[in-house]
């Protein structure tokens, strides 16, 4: 049973501190929005869908102690909290999607009193969390139909339960194949600089008894050259209307390698990751990470002092390198622009079109 | 002035312990062949040409205390020492090339007494060291003609002074361009698992005041996509007669990316790296490294216990992805099979044809 990454308990968030994995499974109790913001920035919780859920719960933290008699101040605080949380990470659209959805509930019930608004927001946040769980399972079912018994899958970054509320996107597909009785094998890119593949994907897969081999990111090419990969499945942090996909740095590299070796390259992501407001990947903001994540990421300095580092958190894979996008509404093939819009998500989770 | 990586001093080897860089510049004094073997295996000295020089000096360590009156035992010890050292690392052909060359000197002077043989071997080892220095400078001159003022070069692994006696191959080309007054910029792949790019290339380039930006290996694709790379220059551990090239794991990945982005991809290597005895890259033995280099490479465990790891030290880039091979005898273009054989090295350093 995959772990529950994040959930709401009474008046606080209970979530796994992913920076402590795989050595320690530590749950954090977070009851302040500032503590949550730090946790998002420092990747204690990460993965686009999980960040969306965290954002919704963060709104609850922000407003729960506000005085019941102050309606005007309540809406001001709600907006400030959303802006504050939205600034924590710029690329994953799921965060702004969840925050917008929470604000929309309040705004469309502007006549209600504060206790009622608090209750509605609480229900909406829990619904976002529940939807994420349903979405991942639906996505996993659609995706696993693409795999066969014995399939060998390359993954990049963590896209399992830890990247969502509790089941995963790309690794959710692997879980679903495993549950369907298919013996699959995963090659997990370690995913520099923060090693989410090594620390998190490998941990999740081993927990489920799924055969997994860890490789350095630069080794995927050699493994493909040997004919050891049947398909690549990765997640997404934001998908433009035309299918261009921002995902963890190195994803574009994998896509180029897959094209060279005629290997299917799949994106697995919920509709909440699709940003129909932008037409192409060049409009996706790319977060830059701190140089120290590269130069002293393992607790020991591994480059000279004052080394200049270029460390974008994400890259953009152009749609022509993507075989299909696996969503909760089915497997979407090119042309993505038309086919993404044509399909309706079974949930409310899609972004505005 | 690039550092001197390895040299012979009276009766011992003086060399930099590359595992301590970039934090500490420590010189080792090695006077036992077993200590040298450990140093090669654990990459205190690495880089194909440097390993070749180390092998030649290792022969001197092995035989220098042998009794002058025992000629028969001397040849036996010489052969045993060569076999012992040759087993330390299987891929770089420069090691067996240097050991063969040392043995050939003794064998072709089999009638001489032991003190004379010792002197001849000493001269040959010093000649191998001197040749390496001349070879790198000639190679650098040929290569730098390919660069322009402002060229942006992607490197993978360390191929500087630390990979040779004292100047370098791919980075030697960069040094030569810099000495010729061209302002070039290097993007250095960090090169997992052992980060020779981050630890060694960046250190060498910064020491020479050359502009360098460190990137994770998986980031090269995004940098190329942005149009920031004008050419790739990498080293080689063994080149087959047809030009197929074994080099640090991830090199084939870089070659595929260069092809996709129409960027010239150069190998920089001395003729001693060419193995005319094998017709293609599939015949090059590929060394497997210990899983711990990936899972706990920096003093902290970063994957679950018992993680299965695939960690080849090298991959093979097929000749059709290689724009040219930069050697001390000039820049060799395809067809490599004919053109590598046609050119004569200015040194004695080529392998048998």
Q: Which of A344, A341, A326 is nearest to A277 (CA)?
A: A341
Judge: A214–B257 Cβ closer than 8 Å, yes or no: no
| Span A97-124, average pLDDT | 97
What H or E segment, with its residue span, contains residue A15?
A: strand A12-16
Give me the residue from B216, B260, B301 closest to A249, CB to CB: B216
Query: What one-character-per-residue DSSP string does B132-188 give?
Result: HHHHHHHHHHHHHTT--TT-EEEE-S--BGGGSSSSBSHHHHHHHHHHTT---EEEE
> Quick one: pLDDT at residue A112?
96
Judge: A213–B310 Cβ closer than 8 Å, yes or no: yes
DSSP category for residue B218: G
Judge: B315–A219 Cβ closer than 8 Å, yes or no: yes
Known catalytic residues of B? 237
- Alpha-helical (H) ranges within B11-159 are 33-41, 48-63, 71-86, 93-107, 114-144
What H or E segment, with its residue span, contains residue B314?
A: strand B314-317
**In angstroms, rounded to a whole number, what is the distance separating the alpha carbons of residues B216 and B186?**
13
Judge: A218–B249 Cβ closer than 8 Å, yes or no: yes
Helix axes A114-144, A170-179, angle to 10 degrees: 60
Q: Which of B255, B250, B268 is nearest to B315 (CA)?
A: B250
Give me the residue from B190, B211, B315 closest to A222, CB to CB: B315
> Quick one: pLDDT at residue A300?
85
Judge: B189–A303 Cβ closer than 8 Å, yes or no: no
Q: pLDDT digit string (tens) for A145-161? A: 999 999 999 999 999 99
Would you call B8 helix, strand, or coil by DSSP?
Answer: strand
- Most B CBs within 10 Å: which of A253, A255, A297, as the mutation test of the B interface? A253
Q: pLDDT digit string (tens) for A286-336? A: 999 999 999 997 778 999 999 999 999 999 999 999 999 999 999 999 999
User: pTM for the whole thing?
Assistant: 0.94
Assess whether pLDDT exceeds 80 at residue A65.
yes
Judge: B250–A219 Cβ closer than 8 Å, yes or no: yes
Residues of B in contact with A194 (CB under 8 A): none
Residues of A in contact with B294 (CB under 8 A): 190, 198, 214-216
Residues of B in contact with A249 (CB under 8 A): 216, 218-219, 222
> Quick one: pLDDT at residue A92?
84
Residues of B in contact with A229 (CB under 8 A): none
Q: How far is A182 from chain B (nearest CA, A)?
A: 20
Terminal Cα-to-Cα distance of chain B (whole angstroms): 35
Judge: A298–B298 Cβ closer than 8 Å, yes or no: yes
Residue of chain B whose Cα is closest to the Cα of A191: B218
Go through the domains of chain B in sequence order and give each one's CATH number. Answer: 6-136 (1.20.120.420), 141-350 (3.40.50.10470)
More confident residue, A212 or B93: A212
A/B interface, count of CB pairs below 8 Å: 190
Judge: B222–A302 Cβ closer than 8 Å, yes or no: no
**In angstroms, rounded to a whole number, what is the distance separating the alpha carbons of residues B9 and B243?**
37
> Quick one: pLDDT at residue B299?
77
> Quick one: pLDDT at residue A299?
78
Residues of A in contact with B213 (CB under 8 A): 308-310
Which tokens go with A136? Answer: 């991942």
Question: Catalytic residue among A237, A244, A275, A315, which?
Answer: A237
Judge: B219–A22 Cβ closer than 8 Å, yes or no: no
- By percentage, how much of chain A surpasses pLDDT 90? 93
Pick out chain B residues at pLDDT < 50.
346-347, 349-353
> Quick one: pLDDT at residue B297?
77
Judge: A295–B198 Cβ closer than 8 Å, yes or no: yes
Give me the residue from A259, A301, A310 closest to B219, CB to CB: A310
In 10 A of CB B327, how many CB atoms?
30
| Span A117-121, average pLDDT | 97
> Quick one: pLDDT at residue B300?
85
Tokens 């729960």 found at: A64
Query: What one-character-per-residue DSSP string does A23-90 give?
Result: T---EEEE-SHHHHHHHHHTTSS-SHHHHHHHHHHHHHHHHTTS-TT-HHHHHHHHHHHHHHHHTS-S
**In angstroms, rounded to a whole number, what is the distance separating the alpha carbons of residues B351 and B272?**
6
Q: Which residues pair with B275 in a beta bridge?
A: B240
Give me the residue from A23, A187, A300 closest to B299, CB to CB: A300
Q: How far is A205 from chain B (nearest CA, A)?
A: 10
> Quick one: pLDDT at residue B1?
76
> Quick one: pLDDT at residue A297?
79
Judge: B222–A252 Cβ closer than 8 Å, yes or no: yes
- Most B CBs within 10 Å: which of A197, A290, A302, as the mutation test of the B interface? A302
Residue of chain A whose Cα is closest to the Cα of B191: A218
Residues of B in contact with A191 (CB under 8 A): 218
Residue of chain B whose Cα is closest to the Cα of A306: B206
Which tokens go with A164? Answer: 């969502």
> Quick one: pLDDT at residue A338?
96
């Amino acid at each position: 049973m995959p772990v529950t990454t994040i959930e709401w308990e009474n008046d606080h968030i209970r979530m796994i501190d992913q920076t402590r994995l795989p050595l320690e499974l530590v749950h954090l109790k977070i009851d302040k929005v500032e503590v949550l913001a730090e946790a998002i920035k420092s990747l204690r919780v990460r993965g686009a869908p999980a960040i969306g859920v965290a954002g919704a719960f963060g709104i609850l933290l922000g407003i729960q102690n506000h005085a019941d008699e102050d309606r005007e101040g309540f809406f001001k605080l709600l907006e400030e909290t959303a802006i504050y949380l939205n600034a924590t990470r710029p690329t994953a659209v799921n965060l702004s999607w969840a925050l917008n959805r929470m604000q929309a509930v309040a705004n469309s019930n502007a006549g209600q009193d504060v206790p009622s608004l608090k209750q509605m927001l609480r229900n909406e946040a829990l619904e976002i969390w529940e939807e994420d769980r349903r979405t991942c399972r639906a996505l996993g079912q659609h995706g696993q139909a693409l795999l066969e018994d014995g399939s060998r899958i390359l993954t990049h970054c963590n896209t399992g339960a830890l990247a969502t509320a509790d089941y995963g996107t790309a690794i959710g597909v692997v879980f679903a194949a495993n549950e369907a009785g298919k013996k699959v094998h995963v090659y997990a890119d370690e995913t520099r600089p923060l090693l989410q593949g090594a620390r998190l994907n490998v941990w999740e897969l081993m927990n489920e008894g799924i055969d997994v081999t860890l490789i350095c990111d630069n080794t995927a090419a050699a493994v493909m050259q040997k004919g050891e990969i049947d398909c690549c499945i990765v997640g997404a942090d934001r998908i433009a209307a035309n299918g261009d996909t921002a995902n963890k740095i190195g994803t574009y590299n994998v896509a180029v390698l897959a094209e060279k070796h005629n290997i299917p390259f799949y994106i697995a992501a919920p509709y909440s990751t699709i940003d129909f407001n932008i037409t192409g990947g060049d409009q996706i903001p790319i977060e830059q990470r701190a140089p120290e994540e590269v130069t002293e990421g393992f607790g020991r300095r591994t480059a000279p002092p004052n080394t200049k580092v270029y460390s974008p958190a994400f890259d953009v894979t152009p749609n022509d390198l993507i075989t299909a996008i696996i969503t909760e509404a089915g497997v979407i093939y090119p042309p993505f622009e038309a086919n993404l819009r044509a399909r309706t998500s079974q949930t409310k989770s899609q972004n505005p079109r």
